[in-house]
Amino acid sequence: MSTIFDKIIAGEIPCKKVYEDNDILAFHDIAPKAPVHILIIPKKSIPGVPSLQQEDDALMGRMIRIANQIADTFSLENGYRLVINSGTDGGQSVDHLHFHLLGGRSLTWPPG
Ligand code: AMP
């Protein structure tokens, strides 16, 4: 099933890109929940965490490392939060696996 993120990857919908390589794309969230709110997505269509296969392990590891590099470019020295929402209770609204990189303010815990 094609999602809005597939359309962004295909260039059919614009995004404010902050990082791209052959496998990964990162761009500003359209409705930011923090001063820095970046979405980091695999170009491979993976609906969510439950769909991950062993062959995706290296990709997920790279995505975490890229997230930290992006955090550096936004000078998030005080820290940040990396979130994956999974399923209805997790608050997932787009069925294409994505990390939220949130920072630039002190984030509360637990989430609502
Ligand atoms: P989630 O609710 O965890 O599935 O996250 C989906 C995120 O995608 C939300 O934070 C939305 O604001 C964001 N989003 C939806 N459409 C776009 C878009 N066209 N460009 C950038 N971010 C988007």
- What structural domains does the chain harbor? 4-103 (3.30.428.10)
Probe residue for ligand 1, chosen from 28, 39, 82, 98 as the CB with the greatest number of ligand atoms within 8 Å: 39
pLDDT, residue 86, reads: 98
Using the structure block, give the residue that is written with the tokens 């989430």.
111
Q: Is the pLDDT of residue 12 over 90?
A: yes
Residue 30 Cα to ligand 1 midpoint, Å, equals 6
CA-to-CA distance for 42 and 98, rounded, in angstroms? 7
Cβ proximity of 76 and 36 under 8 Å: yes
Helices (H), 1-112: 4-9, 57-73, 87-90
Probe residue for ligand 1, chosen from 1, 25, 29 as the CB with the greatest number of ligand atoms within 8 Å: 29
Q: What is the pLDDT of residues 24-83, one digit of tens each?
A: 999 999 999 999 999 999 999 999 999 999 999 999 999 999 999 999 999 999 999 999
Whether ligand 1 lies within 6 angstroms of the CB of 6 is answered as no
pLDDT, residue 112, reads: 87
Which is nearest to 82 in space by CA: 26, 18, 39, 20?
Answer: 39
pLDDT, residue 18, reads: 98
pTM for the whole thing?
Answer: 0.98
